[in-house]
A and B are shown apart, each in its own frame.
Chain A
Amino acid sequence: MIWRVRHTTGYRYARPVDLASHMLHLTPRDLAWQRVLWHRLRCTPEPARISHSRDHFGNPVTWLFMEQPHDTFEVVTEAEVEVVPQPLPRAADTLRWEAVVQAARRDPAAAEFTFPSPLLPETPGATAYAAACFPPGQPVLAGLLALNGRVHRDFLFRGGVTSISTPVSEVLARREGVCQDFTHLMVCGLRGLGLPARYMSGYIRTRPPPGEARRIGADQSHAWVAAWLGGEHGWVDLDPTNDLLVSTEHVALGWGRDFGDVSPLRGIILGGGRHSLHVGVDLRPAADAVDDPPS
């Protein structure tokens, strides 16, 4: 499956911004099951300086530095990404979850994702919530699928009631939130058990309602969970918002310990006064794309 993604982030400032620095996690990364065919980033106003690198997790990062006064700022990223299904073991064939906990201690790359992180401190409630899906001896993937379904059933999707600073314990109490909240909750609970879990940042396709054209720009940044099955099977992606195993309908930008590591756009501005933000994501099959890819 080849996807065309277009992601627009725009800020409008009440007063001019004199100086701005932005750090972007807006470039999809190459993975075993995902290949970036092309990618481009446009920014207005023209930045005085652009740097590119890869962060500690291997995600592509871009920095933009603006040195002229401006009262609007817009970044548009476009990419074409080919996605193939991730190979999955049968749940019953995966390790007992306790064995995964043990293996993670010996595997530094997995161990990193067992520790608390800035936005996800140890939360006993989340651990207890996750533990219900992991009785002793439970194969790890069976437990993960159960938890994925449980979050989907127990929580109501509702925008605007939470923010980046809402702690997992509060999400747990409210039983509502957005995909970032559900991902945080599940990651936090798995880590509480000693299971490695990553926060995945990316996009998901929204299917059009029957008989209607798809809603361009209605999609948004998406988030889901990657959990570790042990050295042999590696990582598996689970989407608790939709109770899905990730297959070919997700495009990953990158991962981190929590939202803070892969925030799509972060900035420090001087001046600006009050600001308003608009974000639009459009993910559609490349075959449907109206314009041609850049030459």
Chain B
Amino acid sequence: MNPLLPPPDSGAFAAFDEMVDGQGRVRPHWRSLLGALSDVRDHAGGLAEACRRLDRLFEDEASALLAAPPADGAGHWRLDPVPLPLPAWEFALLADGLRQRARLLEAVLRDLYGPQSTLAAGLVPPDLVFANAAFLRPVRSEGRPSLGPMLNLYAADLLRRPDGSWCVLADRTSRAAGVGMAQENRLMLARTLPGLFAGQAVRPLRPFLDRWQDTLQRLAPATREHAATALLTSGARHPLWSEHVLLARELSCALVEPGDLTARGGLVFLKTLRGLQPVDVLLRRIEALRLDPLEFGGSEGIPGLMDAWRQGGVAIVNPPGCELAESPLLGPLLPALSQYLLGEPLRLPAAGSHWLADPAALAALRRDPASWLLRAIHGGAEPVGPLGHLSEAQRHRWLLQLEERPRDFVALREPISSVAPAAQGDHLAPRPVLLRMFLLQDGGDWHVMPGGLARVPAIGAVPLGPLPQGGLAKDVWVLSEEGSRIQGPAAMPRPPLVIRRAAGELPSRVADNLFWLGRYVERVEGAARLMRAALNRMERGSLLPREMAELAALSAALRHAGLVAAEDVPTGTTSAALQAALWRALRDKGPIGFDLDEVARLVERLRDRMTDDMHALFLLPLRAVRIQAEARHRGLQGLEDVLAGLLRYSAGVAGAAAENMVRAGGYAFLDLGRRMERAQTIASQLGFALDQPASRAEGGLRLALELCDSVITYRSRYLGVLQAAPALDLVLADPGNPRGLVFQFQAISRLLRDVGGGPEQALLPLVAALEHRVADMPAAVQAAADPDAAAVALAPELAALEREIAALSGAMSRRYFALLPAVQSLGGEWAQPVPGGSSE
């Protein structure tokens, strides 16, 4: 028996059944859906199979979006294959009530951030405003844009009571999260069970998103021809990060973090490689208190953003301050406020909640505490209850708190939600459902999304809290009236875009991340090559003196790269210590483990810049390699497998990037990072390979060819005769060898010219100088009396070259990526006051 199911035949349980009426008849709007569901059972592999396919889709999605696993261990969102249908007439009724409620909440906000006449009239207790951290005094400064509405988006959490009427459990005015999820649910369901939709008049969600996108455009200052809109997120660690990525994509917004923005001269800009690009509309998904440290304290946010907003230089959706309307204290007051502010009775009721400052409410709770839920009126404290489900000690503690400060709490009786069928194996079982619906204001009118997010609350979960990070969701189908035509918003004429091909609009932070991603992937590859060369020699058992010398050179290179320590370097004939050190380097806390962590972190931060496929290519093989590196089966063979895995990984990533990324966009920086790192690695490794006495020059050259993956090319060109000048030409100067040094410099020059934007003017001569120095090396060796001696004499020069390439990389970082100095706040100090002395 499923614990989520209601107890059978419990007389107290009188939940409304969404599908079946009191006489046991299937309600009309379920009939064709049930037919389609039985087709699924008969033809599409059954409901259980549909569930499995949906689960897999969502798991892939979650890992592709790098959604952090929910802290509560409940798992990611899953989608039930059975949607929740709403007939047209019922949706119309709900929509009417919700539109009124949205208008009312907007009017309340306008008043509380304006004249506060509802306070003066005694309709709103001062506690709701002045004791509430969600009342933002800086928003009530004079000069707040009087033109803009105080609410653009609104979501309501609803449930259907046993008598069949809907009521509002909670209002979501700050961010109204969930539209992206609802859209995703619809797409996934249509992909998994296309047959389910056949013959059903389900209203599409896309027109609502189109309208949203147009609305954002309209909010921009009138002077701008084409508004730049951006979705402001706190980044990949936000619990609803996947929703942010999906929404930014659906609404064609740039996805930005506070650090990407700057306020100048009363306007807001995105920091890009080309300079500052204006941002007109911010769709904010972060708390208002983190918007502007100058006015809200703390160190997060964009100093001056509130000033820009007050001046009308930027529109913020929803405007800061609208969190106030989420106060649980507001619900019981809305009937009176509706009369006062709108002159209308409230059409959609709220779940009956009571402020415990009212002695009668407190007395009712005292009589029968078990069935009540509690919400603290200030702060975002999670709701508590039902009290009957808590332990004796916990309940006692809450009741004490209530008696001590009843004014701080609102109580409501545990609501009984309706039940709707959900898949359980191949059958349907009734589960409780909650419904979140979304509204959007479009220059005066409120529009309701014809759909929503239904969810099955976990047993014992309090249905009042914010959207959990996971759970079971249902698609919501709003059925259209027979014969009615579905109309989207009128297309808004948009001016043609200027054609751009350069990388200038790339935010500096993104370019910076791509550059380092390229470097780290290449660093892993270089390390793997070096380690494999050492491994090849260890496998041979007893080593010849020549091989001993090569291993010594490789060990020195490994030490220089920080991959092994001095004591790991083989001294005698045994290389066991070196082998153990290589394993350590690959593990989680080792240097390569660290590099791989950096790769994963950068990929996470670049999530919005990659297609799903690219993203999967970057991330999924990485996990496999790491699991391999942590495996118990050690030994040389295991080591070789891991190194081969790393080399395959970097080759795969490079190929995918080259095939899929637009050249002048992010790819240029990814490739720049890669070339810069490879140039540095080649210079370093060749320096160690050639660091030999002249008598052993041949061994050094052999090693140089091996490290540059050029052995086969050399053999086919020179038939195995190893001479200094031709070998060095191949690894240093040959512009056609992608593992040679000159190739890297030429690529860097080309990439810098592609990126453009000005800084390349200063950098190109530096690159050209390095290229010429390297290109001249083989000719000098050729001309020398003793070419072998001249070859090994290059070792210190190559070491110096490595440092110069590092300096070039630093110069590039400084020119392209805004180095952000640390933020400090002033004014926290008291200026050593001296007392007034007039009474002395």
**Using a CB–CB distance below 8 Å, which chain A residues touch chain B?**
9, 11, 18-19, 21-23, 48-49, 51, 53-57, 61, 63, 65, 67, 105-106, 108, 111-112, 115-116, 118, 157, 159-160, 162-165, 178-180, 204-207, 218-223, 239, 241-244, 249, 260-261, 263-272, 275, 277, 279
Among the listed A49, A56, A163, which residue makes an inter-chain contact with B138, where contact means beta carbons less than 8 Å apart? A56
| Best-surrounded residue of B262, B825, B831 (most CB of chain A within 10 A) | B831
Across the two chains, which residue of chain B brings its CB closest to A51?
Answer: B307
Q: Which A residues are in CB contact (< 8 Å) with B823? A: 268-270
Across the two chains, which residue of chain B brings its CB closest to A9?
Answer: B831
Q: Which A residues are in CB contact (< 8 Å) with B835? A: 157, 178-179, 241-242
Other 9 A-B pairs with CB < 8 A, given A53-B141, A56-B138, A205-B838 = A55-B142, A67-B265, A108-B120, A115-B127, A249-B836, A270-B823, A277-B826, A277-B831, A279-B831
In the assembled complex, 22 residue pairs joining A and B whose CB atoms fall closer than 8 Å, in A order, are A67-B264, A108-B129, A112-B126, A118-B297, A160-B832, A163-B829, A164-B829, A164-B830, A178-B833, A207-B837, A220-B834, A242-B836, A244-B838, A244-B839, A260-B297, A266-B827, A268-B299, A269-B825, A270-B821, A270-B822, A275-B826, A277-B826
Across the two chains, which residue of chain B brings its CB closest to A107?
Answer: B126
Q: Which B residues are in CB contact (< 8 Å) with A57? A: 137
Across the two chains, which residue of chain B brings its CB closest to A267?
Answer: B826
Q: Which B residues are in CB contact (< 8 Å) with A22? A: 294, 826
- Whether a CB of chain A sits under 8 angstroms from the CB of B310 is yes
- Whether a CB of chain A sits under 8 angstroms from the CB of B130 is yes
- Whether a CB of chain A sits under 8 angstroms from the CB of B34 is no
Distance of A23 Cα from B825 Cα, bound (Å): 11
Distance of A106 Cα from B517 Cα, bound (Å): 61
Q: Which B residues are in CB contact (< 8 Å) with A205? A: 836, 838
Distance of A106 Cα from B299 Cα, bound (Å): 37
Complex contact B836–A204 (CB within 8 A): yes
Across the two chains, which residue of chain B brings its CB closest to A250?
Answer: B836
| Best-surrounded residue of A23, A48, A61, A260 (most CB of chain B within 10 A) | A23
Complex contact B141–A55 (CB within 8 A): yes
Distance of A19 Cα from B739 Cα, bound (Å): 44
Complex contact B834–A219 (CB within 8 A): yes
Q: Which A residues are in CB contact (< 8 Å) with B425? A: none
Complex contact B265–A266 (CB within 8 A): no
Complex contact B137–A63 (CB within 8 A): no
Rounded to whole Å, the gap between the CB of B831 and the closest CB of chain A is: 4
Q: Which B residues are in CB contact (< 8 Å) with A207? A: 837-838
Complex contact B820–A270 (CB within 8 A): yes
Q: Which A residues are in CB contact (< 8 Å) with B122? A: 106
Interface of chain B residues 400 through 429 with chain A (CB within 8 A) = none
Q: Which A residues are in CB contact (< 8 Å) with B303? A: 19, 21, 268
Complex contact B839–A108 (CB within 8 A): no
What's the dominant secondary structure at chain A's contact region? Answer: mixed
Complex contact B836–A241 (CB within 8 A): yes
Distance of A171 Cα from B826 Cα, bound (Å): 23
Contact with A along B136-150 (1 / 0, CB 8 A): 011011110000000
Interface of chain B residues 759 through 800 with chain A (CB within 8 A) = none
Contact with A along B450-485 (1 / 0, CB 8 A): 000000000000000000000000000000000000
Distance of A43 Cα from B821 Cα, bound (Å): 24
Contact with A along B248-282 (1 / 0, CB 8 A): 00000000000000111110000000000000000
Distance of A81 Cα from B480 Cα, bound (Å): 69
Known interface pairs A21-B303, A105-B126; A220-B832 also in contact (CB < 8 Å): yes
- Whether a CB of chain A sits under 8 angstroms from the CB of B131 is yes
Complex contact B828–A164 (CB within 8 A): yes
Q: Which 4 A-B pairs have the closest CB atoms?
A: A204-B836, A111-B126, A266-B827, A271-B821
Q: Which A residues are in CB contact (< 8 Å) with B130? A: 108, 111-112, 115
Rounded to whole Å, the gap between the CB of B126 and the closest CB of chain A is: 4
Across the two chains, which residue of chain B brings its CB closest to A18?
Answer: B821
Across the two chains, which residue of chain B brings its CB closest to A61?
Answer: B141
Give the A-B pair count, Cβ closer than 8 A. 170
Complex contact B297–A56 (CB within 8 A): no
Complex contact A21–B294 (CB within 8 A): yes
Known interface pairs A115-B127, A115-B131, A165-B828; A267-B294 also in contact (CB < 8 Å): yes
Complex contact A266–B830 (CB within 8 A): no
Across the two chains, which residue of chain A brings its CB closest to B311?
Answer: A51
Q: Which A residues are in CB contact (< 8 Å) with B262? A: 19
Complex contact B827–A267 (CB within 8 A): yes
Known interface pairs A111-B126, A271-B822; A53-B143 also in contact (CB < 8 Å): yes
Contact with A along B293-308 (1 / 0, CB 8 A): 1110101000110010
Rounded to whole Å, the gap between the CB of A25 and the closest CB of chain B is: 10
Q: Which A residues are in CB contact (< 8 Å) with B838? A: 204-207, 242, 244, 249
Distance of A222 Cα from B832 Cα, bound (Å): 10
Complex contact B142–A21 (CB within 8 A): no
Q: Which A residues are in CB contact (< 8 Å) with B141? A: 53-56, 61
Across the two chains, which residue of chain A brings its CB closest to B126?
Answer: A111
Distance of A277 Cα from B830 Cα, bound (Å): 10
Q: Which B residues are in CB contact (< 8 Å) with A111? A: 126, 130
Rounded to whole Å, the gap between the CB of A84 and the closest CB of chain B is: 17
Known interface pairs A21-B303, A112-B126, A159-B834; A261-B839 also in contact (CB < 8 Å): no
- Whether a CB of chain A sits under 8 angstroms from the CB of B824 is yes
Distance of A97 Cα from B397 Cα, bound (Å): 32
Complex contact B293–A268 (CB within 8 A): yes
Complex contact B825–A268 (CB within 8 A): yes
- Whether a CB of chain A sits under 8 angstroms from the CB of B119 is yes
Complex contact B839–A242 (CB within 8 A): yes
Rounded to whole Å, the gap between the CB of B63 and the closest CB of chain A is: 37
Distance of A120 Cα from B293 Cα, bound (Å): 20
Q: Which A residues are in CB contact (< 8 Å) with B200? A: none
Distance of A267 Cα from B826 Cα, bound (Å): 5
- Whether a CB of chain A sits under 8 angstroms from the CB of B574 is no
- Whether a CB of chain A sits under 8 angstroms from the CB of B536 is no
Complex contact A108–B825 (CB within 8 A): no
Among the listed B140, B143, B827, which residue makes an inter-chain contact with A263, where contact means beta carbons less than 8 Å apart? B827
Interface of chain B residues 103 through 136 with chain A (CB within 8 A) = 116, 119-120, 122, 126-127, 129-131
Rounded to whole Å, the gap between the CB of A202 and the closest CB of chain B is: 10
Across the two chains, which residue of chain A brings its CB closest to B264?
Answer: A67
Complex contact B834–A206 (CB within 8 A): yes
Complex contact A21–B143 (CB within 8 A): no
Distance of A49 Cα from B294 Cα, bound (Å): 15
Complex contact B307–A63 (CB within 8 A): yes
Q: Which A residues are in CB contact (< 8 Å) with B822? A: 270-271
Complex contact A261–B137 (CB within 8 A): yes
Complex contact B294–A53 (CB within 8 A): no
Complex contact B830–A163 (CB within 8 A): yes
Rounded to whole Å, the gap between the CB of B770 and the closest CB of chain A is: 31
| Best-surrounded residue of B140, B293, B834 (most CB of chain A within 10 A) | B834
Complex contact A180–B830 (CB within 8 A): yes
Q: Which A residues are in CB contact (< 8 Å) with B834? A: 159, 206, 218-220
| Best-surrounded residue of A9, A51, A162 (most CB of chain B within 10 A) | A51
Complex contact A53–B827 (CB within 8 A): no
Q: Which A residues are in CB contact (< 8 Å) with B143? A: 53
Distance of A89 Cα from B307 Cα, bound (Å): 42
Q: Which B residues are in CB contact (< 8 Å) with A61? A: 141
Complex contact B829–A108 (CB within 8 A): no
Q: Which B residues are in CB contact (< 8 Å) with A163? A: 828-830
Across the two chains, which residue of chain B brings its CB closest to A115?
Answer: B131
Distance of A179 Cα from B137 Cα, bound (Å): 25
Distance of A164 Cα from B830 Cα, bound (Å): 6
Q: Which B residues are in CB contact (< 8 Å) with A269? A: 823-826
Q: Which A residues are in CB contact (< 8 Å) with B126? A: 105, 108, 111-112, 115
Rounded to whole Å, the gap between the CB of A142 and the closest CB of chain B is: 19
Across the two chains, which residue of chain B brings its CB closest to A268?
Answer: B303
Q: Which B residues are in CB contact (< 8 Å) with A160? A: 832
Interface of chain B residues 637 through 685 with chain A (CB within 8 A) = none
Distance of A154 Cα from B826 Cα, bound (Å): 32
Known interface pairs A21-B294, A221-B831, A268-B303; A53-B265 also in contact (CB < 8 Å): no
Q: Which A residues are in CB contact (< 8 Å) with B263? A: 21, 65
Q: Which B residues are in CB contact (< 8 Å) with A275? A: 824, 826
